[in-house]
């Protein structure tokens, strides 16, 4: 049964990123309270930052669920979550996001599984 663990982890995490990404795109205003003050120094409004973050999470979540650029997508998403986790300070949400970041990093470490489209796009020699 262990052969299924990689795809279950990859798809499960993808669904989390897709849910959060689409939620941010649908109602960016509800998420602006989570934008750190330092992020506003780049000249974008909190709403625009949330929208761009939502777009990134949807695109990377789709790549991850399809298994396209699996390792790169997982690395970017895990680093993103590590940044969010440590920016939150110690609380329950930080611990949850840290666990998700570690799980996503494990997808990066393990690479593609046999159901990834990477296998068709980038055939190993």
pLDDT in tens, 11-35: 999 999 999 999 999 999 999 999 9
Q: What is the pLDDT of residues 47-59, one digit of tens each?
A: 999 999 999 999 9
Res 125: pLDDT: 53
Give the domain range for residue 31. 2-121
- Look up the pTM and report it: 0.93
Distance CA 113, CA 94 (A): 29
| CA angle, residues 112, 18, 7, in degrees to nearest 5 | 25
Burial grade of 2 (CB within 10 A; 0-12, 13-18, 19 or more): exposed
What number of other Cβ atoms are within 10 A of residue 104's Cβ? 27
Do 24 and 54 meet the contact criterion of CB atoms below 8 Å apart? yes
How many structural domains are present in the chain? 1
Please enumerate in sequence order all residues whose Cβ is within 8 A of that of 24, keeping only pairs 6 or more positions apart, or say none.
Answer: 31, 50, 51, 53, 54, 57
């Amino acid at each position: 049964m262990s052969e299924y663990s990689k795809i279950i982890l990859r798809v499960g995490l993808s669904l989390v990123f897709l849910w959060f990404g689409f939620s941010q795109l649908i109602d960016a205003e509800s998420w602006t309270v989570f934008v750190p003050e330092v992020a506003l120094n780049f000249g974008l409004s909190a709403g625009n930052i949330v929208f761009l973050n939502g777009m990134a999470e949807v695109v990377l979540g789709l790549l991850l669920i399809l298994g396209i650029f699996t390792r790169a997508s997982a690395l970017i998403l895990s680093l993103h979550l590590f940044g969010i986790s440590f920016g939150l300070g110690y609380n329950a949400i930080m611990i949850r996001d840290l666990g998700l970041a570690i799980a996503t990093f494990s997808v990066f470490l393990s690479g593609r599984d046999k159901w990834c489209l990477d296998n068709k796009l980038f055939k190993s020699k």
